[in-house]
Amino acid sequence: MVETLIKNGRLIDGSPIEIAITAGKIEAVAEKLELTADTVLDLAGEGYLSAGWIDDHVHCYEKMKLYYDYPDQIGVEKGVTTVIDAGTTGAENVRDFQQLAAAAKTNVYALLNISKWGIVEQDELADLSKVQADLVHEALADLPDFIIGIKARMSKTVVGDNGITPLELAKEIQAANQHLPLMVHIGSAPPELAEVLAHLEAGDILTHCFNGKPNGILDQATEQIKAFVWEAYRKGVVFDIGHGTDSFNFHVAETAFKAGMKATSISTDIYIRNRTNGPVFDLATTLEKMRIVGYSWEEIIAMITEVPAKNFQLTTKGQLKPGFDADITIFELIEAQKELTDSNGATRIATEQIKPVKTIIGGVLYDN
Ligand SMILES: [Zn+2]
């Protein structure tokens, strides 16, 4: 007898799947499962399911003034089972964030900002006295299950006159802490993108990869991808979308796609204002944008499940396998037109929409 049995499910490639869940974990997976269960969820005619969606770049510490939101409003209510807060907090306020986040239905993790108060002000890396490796180390030791990586925002408004130095400090901190995942945000220069990428290794995560700024991946004169960007990409640097208010440009994404450079993972950089007023709204909308750029739904689903789980070492998430957490997103694909707007006001007309309808987190079912 299992707790919950999902019958007549379908994966994004159309193949049938049934899943047994007990005590928050996936117990069995097969095309057909003949088991008795306390609760049976029959999905006949209900579209598709996948491992629970993971959004690896959000801002959801509600006590912040610049970038904040509420985990469940960007998580479970949007079909997202796991959110990774990307550096909203630092060593001084991450403990408070963790306590608040523990009350959410959505799984919440944090990338710790190397600046000790996180993004209290836009220029958190302009004063290097706020980067204290010992404080980072203590926070990591206190919250090893919550802090799954570190974050450094490497753009002019954030670093002030410090150039590449904050990234050098971030790499030192990473090296001293079991080589934790490091996410680096890019934007306007200085520092130059070439210099940022030269410091990144395979597995490091570059977010805002398809932003439309002059210091982005495209040479604005030739419309070609800059040679050093290819070098970093081929080296294995993770290219993460991090849509955000300012950082997703259709033309850049399309040019890269045509050249054979695909993003590695999809994330929103969502917070209350770009959720409420756009252009982000939710993860599903960002997925629809990737679809219209040319990615297949199979690729897109992998980019928000197994790929981020691997990149952030979430070893019990991202896959529908026995022993994994029972995090599942149930969704529909609808043929209908919808105008989508990027961060620079460019629009495209989507003909396919993706709509989460039910979310299962740790074996508990929520309707969307
Ligand atoms: Zn962000």
* pLDDT class of 328 with cuts at 50, 70, 90: very high
Length of the chain: 368
Return the percentage of the chain with pLDDT > 70, whole number: 100
pLDDT of residue 82: 98
H helix and E strand count, the chain:
12, 15
Tokens of 93: 């306020």
Please tell me which residue, 33 or 45, carries the higher pLDDT value.
33
Å from CA of 283 to ligand 1 middle: 14
157 touches 122 (CB < 8 A):
yes
- Residue 109: pLDDT band (50, 70, 90) is very high
pLDDT at position 45? 76
Confidence at 227, pLDDT banded by 50, 70, 90: very high
Distance 112 CA to ligand 1 centre (A): 12
* d(CA 96, ligand 1 centre) in Å: 19
Residue 101 has pLDDT above 80, yes or no: yes
Residues, CB within 5 angstroms of ligand 1 (ion): 86, 269
Q: How far is the CA of 60 from the centre of ligand 1 (A)?
A: 10
Compute, in angstroms, the gap from residue 237 CA to the centroid of ligand 1.
Answer: 18
How far apart are the CA of 102 and the centre of ligand 1, in A?
A: 21
CA nearest neighbour of 121 among 90, 91, 95? 90
User: How far, in Å, is the centroid of ligand 1 from the Cα of 41?
Assistant: 36
Report how far ligand 1's centroid is from the alpha carbon of 123 (Å): 13
pLDDT of amino acid 83 = 98
Rounded mean pLDDT, 54-65? 96
Tokens of 55: 């959004």
3-state secondary structure of 161: coil
Separation of CA 62 and ligand 1 centre (Å): 14
> What spacing in Å lies between the alpha carbon of 276 and ligand 1's midpoint?
16
Q: Which of 219, 293, 285, 288 is nearest to 263 (CA)?
A: 293
Using the mean position of ligand 1's atoms as its centre, give its distance from the Cα of residue 58 in Å.
6
Residues 6 or more apart from 189 whose CB is under 8 A from it? 155, 156, 214, 215
Tokens of 145: 């299950």
State in Å: Cα 267 to ligand 1 middle: 10
**How many Å lie between the centroid of ligand 1 and the Cα of residue 86?**
6
1, 237, 240, 310 from 16: Cα distances, Å:
22, 34, 30, 25
Distance 116 CA to ligand 1 centre (A): 16
Q: 327 CA to middle of ligand 1, Å?
A: 24
Asked if 48 contacts 12 with a C-beta cutoff of 8 angstroms, the reply is yes
Question: Phi and psi (nearest 5°) for 279?
Answer: -85, 10
How far does the centroid of ligand 1 lie from the alpha carbon of residue 207, in Å?
8
Q: 112 with 140: CB under 8 angstroms?
A: yes
- pLDDT at position 368 is 82
Mapped onto helix, strand or coil, the DSSP state of residue 149 is strand
DSSP 129: G
Angle at which helices 133-142 and 94-101 cross, to 10°: 20
DSSP element (H, E) containing 311: helix 306-311
Q: Put residue 313 in one of left, alpha, beta given phi > 0 → left and psi -120 to 50 → alpha.
A: left
Nearest Cα to Cα of residue 228 among 241, 218, 213: 218
Q: What residues have CB less than 8 Å from 71, skipping those under 6 apart?
A: 60, 83, 101, 104, 106, 108
pLDDT in tens, 121-164: 999 999 999 999 999 999 999 999 999 999 999 999 999 999 99
pLDDT confidence band for 46 (50 / 70 / 90) = confident
In the predicted structure, residue 290 carries a pLDDT above the cut 90: yes
pLDDT by residue (tens digit) across 61-81? Answer: 999 989 999 999 999 999 999
Distance 269 CA to ligand 1 centre (A): 5
